Amino acid sequence: MKYLLLLALAGIAACASAFGAVPKTVVIDAGHGGHDRGGTPGNYACEKTLALDVAQRLCAILQQNDVKTVMTRCDDTFIPLGERVSIANAHRDALFVSIHFNSAVRRGADGFETYYFNGKAAGVAARVQANLTALHSGENRGVKRRPYYVLRKTRIPAILAECGFLTNREDAARCNQPAYRQKLAQAIASAVLKG
């Protein structure tokens, strides 16, 4: 009986370890691209350009840590949502990370929010949100479950990080600085690498 209990506990530990493991592959999705600039006409910066820059920085950090990466776009190209999902679904044991920046009618809106749909992504979404909100004193807008297309249609755990409000002059000024975008990438990478 004691032997069976030890085997059961070992099995539980193995499952917990696998569930919390660093993903073998991360599919990095830079939002928008090409004719789709992202955001609104009132943005103080171009969302598609900043999203690609952070995605490329995230890719480099993960590769330095021996994580395989796949980019849904590597340049200023428009990739339809269905194609982004197909790229993600072609990889098993992977995590999908979509990089975006926010906009709002209210110019004072600021801070971060992170989205997921599949419950398996809730943990990494929470870690990403915690790391982003530690970067500055902007509003912690929380972790939210939403059926966005790229989150709902992916068969792997998927998150979408909103990395600041480009309709907010101060947020946009930070996001326009390469050193700050490196911090954004490092914050997301750290959350992913904690597994």
CATH for the stretch 25-193 = 3.40.630.40
CB atoms within 10 A of CB 99: 27
Whose structure tokens read 């930070």?
174
Query: pLDDT tens across 73-97, in order?
Result: 999 999 999 999 999 999 999 999 9
Q: How confident is the model over 4-34, as pLDDT tens digits?
A: 333 333 333 333 333 368 999 999 999 999 9
Note the pLDDT of residue 21.
Answer: 85
Residue 1 has pLDDT above 50, yes or no: no
Q: Is residue 153 over pLDDT 80?
A: yes
Q: Which two tokens stand for residue 38?
A: 């992202």
DSSP lists the bridge partners of residue 69 as 26
* Domain boundaries along the sequence of the chain: 25-193
Average pLDDT, the chain: 91
